[in-house]
Amino acid sequence: MSSPDEFRTSKAQWRSRLLLQRDELDEPARKADDQALLSNLLGWLAQRELNAVAAYVPVGPEPGADLPSVLREAGLRVLLPVVAGKQPLEWAEYTGPDSLRPATFGLLEPAGERLGAAAIGQAEVILVPALGVDHQGVRLGRGAGHYDRSLVLRDPAAELLGVVRDSEFVPSLPGEDHDVRMTSVITPARGVVRLPM
């Protein structure tokens, strides 16, 4: 059995590896991935009757550039996270690119009315940023715990969709019992895959 220190090291090693992989991806490959990912997502969402989705604003090499705008143009109500210290994320509605402002951690957040942490319960689909997702639904984030504290407030029927590039969907990642597992993952080449698989 591995020690807690070895476990944290393993997570840190995965984060370093996956972040380096993202940084090494060239701009044409990123754009092609983003187009394929968003096309797959829109096709999958179109098969469902939805009112609201929770998403995020991708930054840097994160997959899914223009994600909030694409979702809003598809006629969906889009909730975006607002970091509120070590508390669960709060949420606000995305009303267009002009509704975003710079925030902590280099993020962009909606500047509109905060709807509170419980607003995540209004989303039928929650698009979750990840550095990696494994075949059992374990999600590796950046380590701050914001989503782990927030996803417990979701509607239990909501789809939890980890958003990653194809190379970031891996057989196994270090996970803990309290980690909230993804119910599905979406990648540019594979589209939406139900988890666990």
pTM for this model (two decimals): 0.93
**pLDDT in the model for residue 106:** 82
Q: Of 187, 184, 174, give the one whose Cα is nearest residue 6.
A: 174
Backbone angles phi, psi at 156, to 5 degrees: -60, -20
Instruction: Name residue 82's beta-bridge partners.
Output: 90
Backbone angles phi, psi at 124, to 5 degrees: -85, -25
- The 3-class SS string of the chain reads CCCHHHHHHHHHHHHHHHHHHHHHCCHHHHHHHHHHHHHHHHHHHHCCCCCEEECCCCCCCCCCCCHHHHHHHCCCEEEEEECCCCCCCEEEECCCHHHEEECHHHCEEECCCCCCHHHHHHCCEEEEECCEEECCCCEECCCCCHHHHHHHHCCCCCEEEEECCHHHEECCCCCCCCCCCCCEEEECCCEEEECCC
**pLDDT in the model for residue 9:** 62
**pLDDT in the model for residue 2:** 47
Q: Of 156, 175, 169, give the one whose Cα is nearest residue 195.
A: 169
Listed as ranges, residues in the chain with pLDDT below 50 are 1-3
